[in-house]
Structure formats: C-alpha cells, structure tokens
Amino acid sequence: MTAVSAPTEHVDSLDELPGSGPSVVHLCKLAFRYEPKLFWVSLGITVLGAIPDALFALWLGLLATALRDTGDPDSTLLIISGVGLAFSAVGTWILRAGGDRLSLRFRQRLAVELETHVARLQADAVGIEHHERPDVLDRLAMLRDQVFTLDHIFLSLFGMLGILMRLIIVMVVLATVRPFMLLLGLAAIPPIIAAARRGRIESAAWEGMARERRLARHLFVLGTEAPSAKELRVAGATQSIATARDQAWESFVRPMSRVRWSSALVQTAAWAFFAGAFGLAILEVTQGTGPDRAADTLIVIGAGARLISYIAAAATEVDTWGFFIQGGQRLLWFERFVEARNRTANVEAPDRLESGIAVRDLSFAYPGSEQLVLDNVDLDLPAGS
C-alpha cells in the first residue's frame, strides 16, 4: 500500500535549491554507498597523474643547466633530466590511460545506481504534484532528461583536483626562477572567475527556458511518431505543428545565443589580460643576465605553456561544473521534497475501493494563475467504474 497525504496548505513557490557544497557531499555519500572502492582508486590515480606532466618544465631547465658549459657538461644533471623527461612522458601516458579507464568504469557503474535511485524517488513520492505542477516539472527536467549530470559531476570533481595539483606544482617550478612569477597565478584568476560567472548565467538562462524546450520537444514528437503523425496528416495540421515547433525552438535558441556571445566576449577579455602578464614574464627573463638565463627561459616557457593549458582546463571544468552541479542540487532538493511529502502522509491507500470516490466543492487553478479551471465541482465516481 502507498501512503497518501492529508490535505495541506498549497504553496505556489518552491524552496531554493541547496548549495553546491551540501550537494557534492550528498553525491559523495551516494558514491561511497554504491561504489566505494572505485571511487578511491579513481580519485587517487587522477591526483597522481598530475605530477609527471607538471614537472616537465623542471626537467627542461635541468637539461639546459647541465649543458650550460659545453666543454664539460654536468653528467649527473644530464642523467637526472633525461630520466625525468622519460618519467614525465611515460608516466603521464600510463596514469592517464589507466585513470581514464578506471574513471569511466566507475562512472558507468555509478550512473546505473544513480538513475535507479532517481527513478525510485519519483515512484515512491506521495501524490502526483511532481508529475503535474509546471514549476516542479521545470526544476526536475534535468533529472528526467539529463540524469547523466549526476555521474559526470565526479568527472569534473576529479578533473579539478588534478588540475589544482598541476597548478600548484607549476607555480612552485616558476617560483624557482623568480619569486615574482607567482603573480602569474593571480593573472590566471580572471579567466577562471569569468568562466564560473558566465557558466552560472548560462545555466540560469537554460533553466528559465525549460518550458520552451519542453514544448518544442512535445511538438517534435507529435510530428514524427507514427500514431500522432498519421492523425496530423489526416487533419491537415502537419505544417501548423511544424511551424509551432520552429517558433518554440527559436524562442529558446535566440536568447541562449545572445547569452553565449556575451560569455565569449567576457572570456576573451579575461584571457587577453593573462596573455599580457605572461608576455611580460617572458620578456623579464629573456632580458636578464647571468649563466642561468637559458635555463630560466626554458623553464618559464615550458612551465608557462603548461600553465596556459591548465588554466584553460580549469576554466572549462569550472564552466561545466556549474552545469553538472545543478543535477546534484536538484537531486538533493527532490530527496528533501519527497521526504517532506512522505512525512506528512498519514492516510493509507486502500487495497480496494468499495464505495468509490466522492468530490465535493472542488475548485482548481494552475500554479501562477488566478483563473479557476474548475469551480465548485461535485463529482461521484462509483467503485468499479
């Protein structure tokens, strides 16, 4: 038997979504519950894989230092730099290949468990509010259509931890050349902030147009699935449905296109700022004097190239994180929603209806509208009807 809710006061507005922190913690708890071993192994390999790649510039600097005196090269430094370059090249490939396979296996197995978890929540929730209310449908659209975001959160989370390790190592290597090179880390902040902020704006725009996407999808299905498409052809309504679908899709695509163009301009300006700082750093090192100038230049160029790729990866991860984390926020919100509804349920559904259903003085209006669709309706549904 399924519990049903007693009459409660209707609330039009929904609670705010949980924060990113509680949502990530909740998803990590679910991962520990379903795949604890693969979680730790995937995390460990992702973090370890950051070390060989980030040290590449250091080995180049040691190689230049060893060859500084062409008459008598330092054989010890030559061996260390050669072994280090081999370690960076081979170690990065091995850890990346192994880590990608393990991470994919972890996410695939976790995806099955999380999809089952979401389906169970929707089936066990008391009432039909989460199937009928437009605002609830908008909020749960991601869990219905893009449930893959739940397991992809871990792809983004592990990726950010690996990038953070790489950034720390590269900044330490750059600091060995000049302490002021640490300022490059500050110059890298604007691209990351721009990616994070624009990602949130794009996500808000995407969520705000869920109804347009849902309408476009519904009209597309009507015009393409065999049963409904045959009826439309008979009625001569095929063209009108196609036109309505195009209009619904354009009402979604055009605003999103404007938001994404704004994101492109903001991120271009942020990257231009970092490029200027990096150019000044290279100019400072190349104009220096001393026997270590060649080694320092190699380190700055090599580490700087790595730094650029890491910042680009960090900006991408931050941007996609803003999208993926919405799945986790909605999952935690929906679990609290289901828990609250089930907690207030105090009437058991009968195994069998013996006297039918009686409705008295029923009035109904859709959320957000004051116009009554049903007004003071009395209805009797006999058992077995």
pLDDT at 271: 87
Rounded CA separation 137/132 (Å)? 7
Instruction: Report the pLDDT averaged over residues 354-373.
Output: 80
| Ramachandran angles phi, psi of 377, nearest 5° | -90, 135
- pLDDT exceeds 80 at position 223: yes
Res. 109: pLDDT tops 60: yes
Instruction: Confirm if 47 and 167 have CB atoms less than 8 A apart.
Output: no
Across 7-16, 237-246, 304-313, which has the greatest mean pLDDT?
237-246
SS3 26: helix
Rounded to whole angstroms, the Cα distance separating 256 from 216 reads 15
Sequential DSSP letters for 138-184: HHHHHHHH-TTHHHHHHHHHHHHHHHHHHHHHHHHHHHTT-GGGGHH
CB 282 within 8 Å of CB 303: no
pLDDT tier at 200, thresholds 50, 70, 90: confident
Residue with tokens 């004051």: 370
The larger pLDDT score, comparing residue 46 to residue 360, is at 360
Residue (of 22, 1, 6) closest to 346 by Cα position: 6
In angstroms, the CA 182 to CA 168 distance is 10
Give the lowest-confidence range in 127-136, 252-261, 320-329: 127-136
Q: How much is the pLDDT for 166? A: 82
3-state secondary structure of 349: coil
Q: In this predicted structure, what is the pLDDT of residue 265? A: 92
pLDDT at 4: 41
Q: What's residue 72's pLDDT? A: 67
Share the mean pLDDT of the chain.
80
> What is the structure's pLDDT at 374?
86
**Torsion angle of alpha carbons 130, 131, 136, 140, nearest 10°?**
90
pLDDT digits (tens, 9 = 90+) for 291-348: 667 777 777 877 777 788 888 888 777 777 777 888 888 888 888 888 888 777 777 7
Shortest CA distance to 330 belongs to which of 124, 145, 129?
Answer: 145
Q: Is the pLDDT of residue 376 over 50?
A: yes
Residue 8: what pLDDT?
A: 39
CB 320 within 8 A of CB 156: yes
**What is each CA distance from 149 to 81, 120, 146, 156, in whole angstroms?**
42, 18, 6, 10
% of the chain beyond a pLDDT of 90: 1
Tell me the average pLDDT across 175-198.
81
What pLDDT is stored for residue 290 in this prediction? 63
pLDDT at 30 over 50: yes
Instruction: Find out whether 349 and 330 touch, Cβ atoms under 8 Å.
Output: no
Residue 329's alpha-carbon distances to 26, 98, 149, 270, 370, in angstroms, are 9, 30, 11, 29, 30
Give the pLDDT confidence score for residue 184 in this predicted structure. Answer: 80
Distance of alpha carbon 31 from alpha carbon 148, whole angstroms: 14
CA 53 to each of CA 108, 161, 177, 361: distance values in angstroms, whole numbers, following the listed order: 27, 14, 19, 71
The whole-number average pLDDT for the span 186-198 is 83
